[in-house]
Amino acid sequence: MNELEFEDFAQQISDAVESFLVSLQAISREESAGVAVPLLLLEVSQVLLAGARLGAQIDFTPIETYQPDVGPDPDLDDMRMRLATLLDEADTFSHNFEPYDPETFPAQLSDELTSIATDLANGLKHFRAGNLDEALWWWQYSYLASWGGNACGVLSALHSIVAHDRLDHEVVGEDEQLAIAEEILGADLTP
């Protein structure tokens, strides 16, 4: 990757990260989980695309042995609490940290989303400080080590909520329709 491609790639990842962080804050202020959950599904999907692009690249190497200090982690606890309140009972889900190990653990969407945001914000600070090597290294490393797996679990949970919401509807008059069909066909059609 030449210098221009490198800078362009870093800018694209930065744009995706910033979009996710801004959107996550906005979604946490939604009044309805019915609005928030599909938006979260979309945002997590989009940031995972950026992560997959990072994972598909050769390993980025930071210039310095130690990460330059870019200040404290952002205080995202208010956002985490808003998300927990908004998501209510849907906040807790079963997360499988390692797909080849069948054991699952309870996790909270609000905690996982906040953890993802914290990892991404750290890389964004490096990017804004002009340290593209460190930003890309951090985003790639943290994608592979933490936020990528967390985001996959969150994506699965959000997908499940949306799928059940859209597909688990009772058909009004279904019993009557089945009774009429059984009479016509002379067969038991009860599921």
Q: What is the pTM of this model?
A: 0.83
Residue 187 CA to its chain's centroid (Å): 46
Q: How far apart are CA 160 and CA 110, in angstroms?
A: 16
CA separation (Å) from 191 to 54, 155, 168, 174, 175?
46, 31, 15, 11, 11
Residues in the chain: 191
β-pair partners for 93: 107
C-alpha–C-alpha distance, residues 97 and 180, integer Å = 49
Q: Give the confidence band of 112 by pLDDT, cuts at 50, 70, 90.
A: very high
- For the stretch 77-111, pLDDT in tens is 999 999 999 999 999 998 887 778 888 889 999 99
Query: What pLDDT does 185 receive?
Result: 67
Q: Which amino acid is at 149?
A: G
pLDDT value of position 167: 80
The mean pLDDT value for 70-81 works out to 87
Query: Rg (Cα) of the chain, in Å, rounded?
Result: 22
Asked if the model's pLDDT at residue 33 lies above 70, the reply is yes
- The per-residue pLDDT for 182 is 66
Strands 105-108 and 92-95, by their bridges, are: antiparallel
Give residue-wise pLDDT tens across range 36-62: 999 999 999 999 999 999 999 888 877
The pLDDT, as a whole number, for residue 168 is 72
HEC letters along 87-153: HHHHHEEEECCCCCCCCCEEEEHHHHHHHHHHHHHHHHHHHHCCCHHHHHHHHHHHHHHHHHHHHHH
Place of tokens 């950026």: 50
- Structural domains in the chain plus CATH codes: 3-185 (1.20.120.1550)
Mean pLDDT of the chain: 88
Task: Tell me the mean pLDDT in the region 142-147.
Answer: 95
**What would the mean pLDDT of 15-40 be, rounded to a whole number?**
96
Query: What does the pLDDT read at residue 23?
Result: 97
pLDDT at 130: 93
d(CA 57, CA 171) in angstroms, rounded, equals: 48
More confident residue, 4 or 173: 4
Question: Which residue, 148, 78, 94, 73, is CA-closest to 116?
Answer: 148
Separation CA 191–CA 184 (nearest Å): 17
